[in-house]
Amino acid sequence: MLLADHEGSWSYRRAAVAPFTGEAPDDGVRRISGIRADDPSRVVHSTSWRYLPNLGQVVLTYAVCPDPEPEATRITLDDLIIARGSAPAAPSPDQIEEANVVAHAIQHLAFLQTTDPVVGRTLEQWPAIAMALGARSPFPAGELTDVRA
């Protein structure tokens, strides 16, 4: 659950949920964040997935923005660093930290702010968030650039 201040600094709060039997992941995220599906003031968006081989699980990551509990204890991000794979055909990073996942989610929202009118209108209601996202590149999170000479 993401929040930006007027200086453009990001903080987050982590929550985890296993959907109930028959419950869609979107619904599980809304349940733990207390957000209704028709809430016009919050974005709930799946931003990434990753496989945890030691558990045999796929983890879906969602961004909830802005955090519906802005007064809750938060983790401040010093840098927004997206983890990358070591080769084009090996996209999974060797190591990924929670902060990398959050940075990826923020980059994803920056992309959506400029390409998805519904998300853009929603995030524009929050000037600090809109400004902080506007300072990010609107390119898709994880986009590889052409490094050929």
pLDDT in tens, 112-141: 999 999 999 999 999 999 999 998 876 665
Residue 61 domain flag: yes
Q: Is 116 exposed, middle or buried (0-12, 13-18, 19+ CB in 10 A)?
A: middle
Range of the domain at 124: 2-134
Q: Confirm whether 143 is domain-assigned.
A: no
pLDDT at 146: 47
pLDDT at residue 74, as a whole number:
95
Q: Count of domains in the chain?
A: 1
Residue 141 lies in a domain: no
Q: For the segment 64-106, what is each residue's pLDDT rounded down to a tens digit?
A: 999 999 999 999 998 888 888 888 898 888 888 999 999 999 9
Over the stretch 20-65, which tens digit does the pLDDT of each residue have?
999 999 999 999 999 999 999 999 999 999 888 899 999 999 999 9
- In a domain, residue 33? The reply is yes
Which secondary-structure segment (H or E) carries 58?
A: strand 57-65
